[in-house]
Amino acid sequence: MQDPDAQPKIEGCGPLLRAPCDTPRSLRQQVFEFVRAQGHAARADITHALGISAGSTTTITADLISCGYLREFEKQSKGTGRGRPKVALEVVPEAAYVIGIKLAFNRHTAVLADFGGNVIADVALPSSDMRRPMSQLLDETGELIDKLLKVGGKTKSSVRSVGIGMPGIIDHSTGKVVWSYMLETRDEDMTTAFENRFQLSLSLDNDANMLTLAELWFGEGRSMSDFAVVTVESGVGMGLVLGNQLYRGVHGMGLELGHTKVQLDGALCQCGQRGCLEAYLADYALTREAATALGRSFDQNETPAEILATLLEKAKDGHPAAETIFRRAGRFLSLGLSNVVQLFDPALIILSGERLQYAQHYADEVMEGMRKLTLNEGRRPCRVAINAWDDLVWARGASALALTAITTSLIGGEARAA
């Protein structure tokens, strides 16, 4: 008997819309990515969707089949008509495997995915909330990879690429961690250190970008050309998709919404500056006021999540000081969202992150505040959605980063003569 609450299986992975014409991707790669995004596709579908000749489709798909990246299968018709079953193409999932990792305070997560984007295994390990040297963070990453491969029944030699998302200011183009509150030092070349230690190719990016990739590859953003993602966790992050592509800025370090200034000489942010939006929204911003609000000191063993849960219960019970803390945070969230709308005019803003459970308590006030702070004359309202992803979605977004890298490496060249 079918479970009425079961979610339908989503076919394929990756953006469903075509990338702009100026995107440097070979026709061979476009054909492969179209098949992967659709889940399966007939040659006629490829020809029509990409606007190429039937001969080009035949040549390219024959090459991808011979290389072991695509395979044919007979697509069963729902009708009872006569004739041979329609032949379609699909990705060979075992052609490559990648790992996606989210490094964070309190908990690291990782997924092992195949070439079709299917998750084979996932693991999580506890993490410290203290800053650490790069060598220690790599030790933790190595332990995570070892556990993941053991659970997934794979060896390190079967992994072709790794993607990592972590909080902070990350230069994706160089693979350097310019600054992260997870590390003791700045300007760390994490990509080189990782590749030298593990002999695996690494793509490194900000964790908010990983969540945005998860939406673009697996979520609500698959069929959208423009949308924004705002995350509220131990920090405040933002990702932006423009023209069906992740936008990072000229130097790959843009969209740092959490470090935009909302109050001159305001609250101290963990980046070292004052007045950042994050300093009024993130968990540390709320917990440092909780002791005063509740009139007691907290046990050092209590986690930020436990402290905030206590604070929220007090707010729900009508505790004036606790209510004031959340309402103040809500006003600053309204301010941040209105700035996103004013600057980028997205059709959709997706709110995500563990701390949004607290914002939901005052969700109506936050949305109304955003509308009041936004110039709405002649503007279509921006839709705001709250996506309650589980923690593994960040790691899955990192797997999309790794899949992008290995797809370009393996398939980016032009097709050989069939």
pLDDT per position as a tens digit, 309-329: 888 888 888 888 888 888 888
pLDDT in tens, 339-365: 999 999 998 999 887 666 666 667 888
Look at the alpha carbons of 47, 48, 51, 54 in this order and tell me if their dihedral is positive or negative.
positive
**pLDDT tens per residue, range 198-247:** 999 999 999 999 999 999 999 888 999 999 999 887 788 899 999 888 99
Give me the numbers of helices (H) and strands (E) for the chain, helices first please. 13, 14
Which pLDDT belongs to residue 40? Answer: 94
Distance separating alpha carbons of residues 22 and 331, to the nearest angstrom: 40
pLDDT for 296 equals 64
pLDDT band at 7 (very low <50, low <70, confident <90, very high): very low
Q: Which of 330, 322, 337, 241 is nearest to 289 (CA)?
A: 322
159: left (phi over 0), alpha (psi -120 to 50) or beta: beta
- Any idea which architecture 225-346+354-388 has in CATH? 2-Layer Sandwich (3.30)
Gap between the Cα atoms of 264 and 237, Å rounded: 20
Please state, in angstroms and rounded to a whole number, the distance separating the CA atoms of residues 371 and 335: 10
pLDDT at 47: 96
CATH class of 27-93: mainly alpha
Sequence ranges of the domains in the chain: 27-93, 95-213+393-409, 225-346+354-388
pLDDT grade for 417, boundaries at 50, 70 and 90: very low
| pLDDT confidence band for 1 (50 / 70 / 90) | very low
Picking from 363, 306, 299, the residue whose alpha carbon sits closest to that of residue 337 is 363
Q: DSSP letters along 44-72, please? A: HHHHHHHT--HHHHHHHHHHHHHTTSEEE
CATH number of 95-213+393-409: 3.30.420.40
Res 418: pLDDT:
34
Identify the H or E element spanning 178: strand 176-179
Domain 95-213+393-409 and domain 225-346+354-388 have a common topology: yes
Confidence at residue 254, expressed as pLDDT on a 0 to 100 scale? 77
* pTM, entire model: 0.86
pLDDT, tens digit, 9 for 90 and up, residues 65-120: 999 999 998 876 555 555 566 789 999 999 999 999 999 988 999 999 999 999 99
